[in-house]
């Protein structure tokens, strides 16, 4: 069959600027003539071309994943790539892709996902580019890709048949080798090397009951292999296990709102001991115990305090990092352990340098993201296995472990309020207004709390010195409470305001209070300071986590 490279003339398409985690748009936008092709070519053009390079390729299986993988393979071949490692069926979870990049010493990877955003013909699609360390491209690279997308005049593609991705094995496309791999095998082996599978298996055999909700997204096959096949959990432990192009109409965002059936089960009669869920591309996690929800910020803190119980972390942690809006619970653990704690902007790409430099090996975000330096992405199943390992080692319930943690370190009550579908201009004006007033806030009193500091968060990367500005407005109170506000960088329509609220209460008293009640004065202060209702015409959030 004849295969030839065509140089297709094209023109820049506005708006191809990657956000917090890749380029995300409505699926019909990505399916527009030249849209995907322009962006993929811009990745190659911005990174020194694809000639001779090795890439990893896969996605979370959402609608258009199958077509996009074929287009990208033909473009990789036409641009001279040497080899591509692609998940069978075009599937790879984000953490598995990160691992495969590192394992194969690839030059980078392309992951097709809009993560926790719904999928389908009228929902969201996305493309993420990861660099050779396995992590999301840093800002310098995503900016270069965006610039390339504004200058593009042609893209290269091979005109040929589709590649058979239905079974593992070696394929050839023009001069390019394609290795179709089992998406799960290498990742599962990595997990076995980090955690005490024997102890977890014994715990499960001893009657410990768990439930994992894969939300019809990519983690289903991973969770079935690891939890059921290797750890002996009964068949059916993993629900919504089949990845579907529209995630079965679910919103694959593992939080109490979108994973409500799992919440109901863990808070209901005869609840299992442990529950967890993951998102579209498998990098997020939600952890539940019987009758208890573990906030992601608390999960990070508990993991920091207990990671040494897992064989892969027995030597202890070098340091930890959290995104700025994440609660300061982990800071208290780091202080006690005598290790460094870094505060970075939102998005996993800011952790890569710290991990590469060996400064941190545990990272987390309030948005249900936790991970370590075993890869360079957050990792949903890793967090689940870490918890199972801790539970197997301590032989206590999730609720008991949390209560003991709060008694020892105190409790950072924490919540995020999201206001979605806002008019972008109104949301930006509100934040600009508040930004202008920040300098005058310290010393003022509101809701009986004194403002200690207020600023617009800027981050200077301690490894490469790069500076990233305007990463969220933060207002700190003398009693340790905190308000943070920023706009989401992952949405595909309008603006979403994220309002992050935190209040610290030392242990051992008042451990059982309701989070939203405890935060009520902080919430009122935030609304008054930013004049949310006046600007947005809204006083109640759409999603509270």
252 near ligand VG1 (CB under 6 A): no
Instruction: Please state the closest distance from residue 279 (CB atom) to Co ion, in A.
Output: 4
Here the tokens at position 131 are 């660099």
Q: Give the binding-site size for ligand VG1 (rule: CB under 6 A).
A: 18
Cβ distance 350 to 468 under 8 Å?
Answer: yes
Phi/psi at 287 (5° precision): -115, 130
322 near ligand VG1 (CB under 6 A): no
User: CA dist 51 to 14, 85, 417, 428, Å?
Assistant: 27, 16, 46, 42
365 near ligand VG1 (CB under 6 A): yes
C-alpha 119 chain-centroid distance: 16
327 near ligand VG1 (CB under 6 A): no
Catalytic residue among 21, 42, 93, 115: 115
Residue 262: which H helix or E strand, with range? helix 260-267
Residue with smaller CB distance to Co ion, 219 or 306: 219
Cβ distance 213 to 272 under 8 Å?
Answer: no
Q: Which of 45, 213, 281, 365 binds Co ion (CB under 5 A)?
A: 281
Instruction: Provide the mask over 476-495, with x wherever binding to ligand VG1 is found by CB under 6 A and - wherever it is not.
Output: ------------xxx-----
- What is the number of the residue whose Cβ is closest to Co ion? 115
Instruction: Please state the closest distance from residue 20 (CB atom) to ligand VG1, in A.
Output: 3
265 near Co ion (CB under 5 A): no
Instruction: Please state the closest distance from residue 11 (CB atom) to ligand VG1, in A.
Output: 29
Residue with smaller CB distance to ligand VG1, 10 or 492: 492
Residue with smaller CB distance to ligand VG1, 57 or 178: 57
Cα 370 from Cα 402, distance rounded (Å): 17
Q: Which does 332 bind (CB under 5 to 8 A by kind): ligand VG1, Co ion, none?
A: none
279 near ligand VG1 (CB under 6 A): yes
545 near ligand VG1 (CB under 6 A): no
Cα 163 from Cα 76, distance rounded (Å): 13
Instruction: Please state the closest distance from residue 281 (CB atom) to ligand VG1, in A.
Output: 6
Q: Which of 53, 74, 83, 116 binds ligand VG1 (CB under 6 A)?
A: 116
Phi/psi at 331 (5° precision): -60, -35
Tracing tokens 């890709």 back to the chain, one arrives at 145
Phi/psi at 392 (5° precision): -65, -35
Rounded to the nearest 10 degrees, what angle do helices 380-394 and 197-205 cross at? 70
Residue with smaller CB distance to ligand VG1, 20 or 328: 20
Instruction: Please state the closest distance from residue 260 (CB atom) to Co ion, in A.
Output: 19
What would you report as the CA-atom Rg of the chain, rounded to the nearest whole angstrom?
A: 23
Q: Residue 95 contacts by C-beta under 8 Å, 6 or more apart in sequence?
A: 187, 282, 283, 371, 375, 377, 378, 379, 380, 381, 382
Q: Which of 16, 38, 54, 115 binds ligand VG1 (CB under 6 A)?
A: 115
Can 493 be counted among the known catalytic residues?
Answer: no
Which residues, 330 to 359, sit near ligand VG1 by CB under 6 A? 346-348
Instruction: Please state the closest distance from residue 59 (CB atom) to ligand VG1, in A.
Output: 12
Instruction: Please state the closest distance from residue 321 (CB atom) to ligand VG1, in A.
Output: 13
Cis peptide before 508 (omega within 30 of 0): yes
283 near ligand VG1 (CB under 6 A): yes
Q: Which of 16, 41, 65, 115 binds Co ion (CB under 5 A)?
A: 115
Instruction: With CA atoms as reference, report the closest residue to 173 among 67, 48, 70, 51.
Output: 70
498 near ligand VG1 (CB under 6 A): yes
Instruction: Please state the closest distance from residue 434 (CB atom) to ligand VG1, in A.
Output: 18
Here the tokens at position 377 are 């992405």
Could you give the 3-state DSSP secondary structure of residue 165?
coil
Cβ distance 226 to 188 under 8 Å?
Answer: yes
279 near Co ion (CB under 5 A): yes
Cα 129 from Cα 16, distance rounded (Å): 13
Cα 63 from Cα 472, distance rounded (Å): 33
Cβ distance 90 to 181 under 8 Å?
Answer: no
Which residues, 168 to 227, sit near ligand VG1 by CB under 6 A? none
Instruction: Please state the closest distance from residue 69 (CB atom) to Co ion, in A.
Output: 18
284 near ligand VG1 (CB under 6 A): yes
Instruction: With CA atoms as reference, report the closest residue to 233 among 204, 260, 261.
Output: 204
- What is the number of the residue whose Cβ is closest to ligand VG1? 115
Q: Which of 45, 283, 366, 379 binds Co ion (CB under 5 A)?
A: 283
Tracing tokens 């990092």 back to the chain, one arrives at 321
Q: Which does 20 bind (CB under 5 to 8 A by kind): Co ion, ligand VG1, none?
A: ligand VG1
Would you tell me which residues interact with ligand VG1 (CB under 6 A)?
20-21, 115-116, 279, 283-284, 323, 346-348, 365, 367, 369, 488-490, 498
- The set of catalytic residues is 115
Residues binding Co ion (CB under 5 A): 115, 279, 281, 283-284
């Amino acid at each position: 069959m004849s295969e030839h490279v065509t140089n297709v003339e094209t023109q820049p398409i506005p708006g191809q600027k990657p956000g917090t985690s890749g380029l995300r748009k409505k699926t019909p936008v990505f399916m527009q003539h030249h849209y995907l092709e322009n962006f993929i070519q811009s990745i190659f053009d911005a990174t020194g071309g694809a000639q001779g390079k090795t890439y990893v390729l896969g996605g979370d299986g959402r609608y258009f994943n199958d077509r996009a993988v074929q287009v990208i393979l033909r473009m990789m071949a036409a641009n001279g790539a040497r080899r591509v490692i692609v998940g069978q069926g075009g599937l790879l979870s984000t953490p598995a892709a990160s691992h495969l990049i590192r394992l194969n010493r690839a030059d980078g990877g392309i992951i097709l996902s809009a993560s926790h955003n719904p999928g389908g013909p009228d929902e969201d699609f996305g493309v993420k580019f990861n660099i050779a360390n396995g992590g999301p491209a840093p800002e310098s690279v995503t900016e270069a890709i965006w610039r390339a997308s504004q200058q593009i005049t042609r893209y290269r593609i091979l005109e040929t048949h589709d590649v058979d991705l239905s079974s593992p094995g070696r394929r050839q496309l023009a001069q390019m080798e394609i290795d179709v791999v089992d998406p799960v095998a290498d990742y599962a082996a990595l997990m076995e090397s980090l955690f005490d599978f024997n102890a977890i298996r014994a715990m499960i055999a001893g009657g410990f009951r768990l439930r994992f909700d894969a939300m019809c997204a990519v983690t289903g096959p991973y969770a079935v292999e690891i939890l059921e096949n290797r750890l002996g959990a009964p068949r059916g432990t993993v629900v919504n296990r089949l990845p579907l192009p529209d995630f079965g109409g679910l919103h694959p965002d593992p939080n109490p709102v979108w994973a409500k059936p799992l919440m109901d089960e863990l808070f209901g009669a005869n609840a299992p001991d442990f529950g967890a869920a993951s998102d579209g591309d498998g990098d997020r996690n939600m952890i539940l115990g019987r009758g208890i929800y573990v906030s992601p910020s608390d999960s990070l803190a508990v993991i920091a305090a207990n990671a040494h119980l897992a064989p892969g972390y027995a030597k202890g942690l070098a340091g930890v990092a959290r995104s700025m809006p994440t609660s300061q619970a982990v800071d208290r653990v780091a202080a006690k352990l005598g290790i460094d704690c870094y505060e970075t902007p939102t998005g996993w790409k800011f952790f890569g340098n710290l991990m590469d430099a060996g400064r941190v090996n545990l990272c987390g975000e309030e948005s249900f993201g936790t991970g370590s330096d075993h890869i360079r992405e957050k990792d949903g199943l890793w967090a689940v296995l870490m918890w199972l390992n801790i539970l197997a080692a301590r032989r206590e319930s999730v609720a008991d472990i949390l209560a003991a943690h709060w008694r020892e370190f105190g409790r950072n009550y924490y919540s995020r309020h999201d206001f979605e579908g806002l008019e972008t201009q109104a949301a930006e004006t509100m934040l600009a207004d508040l930004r202008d007033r920040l300098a005058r806030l310290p010393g003022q009193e509101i809701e009986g709390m004194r403002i200690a500091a207020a600023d617009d968060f800027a981050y200077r990367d301690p490894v490469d010195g790069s500076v990233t500005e305007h990463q969220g407005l933060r207002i700190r109170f003398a009693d340790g409470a905190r308000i943070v506000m920023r706009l989401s960088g992952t949405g595909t329509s309008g603006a979403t305001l994220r309002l992050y609220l935190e209040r610290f209460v030392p242990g051992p008293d008042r451990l059982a209070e309701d989070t939203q009640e405890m935060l009520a004065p902080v919430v009122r202060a935030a609304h008054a300071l930013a004049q949310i209702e006046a600007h947005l015409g809204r006083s109640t959030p759409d999603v509270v986590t």
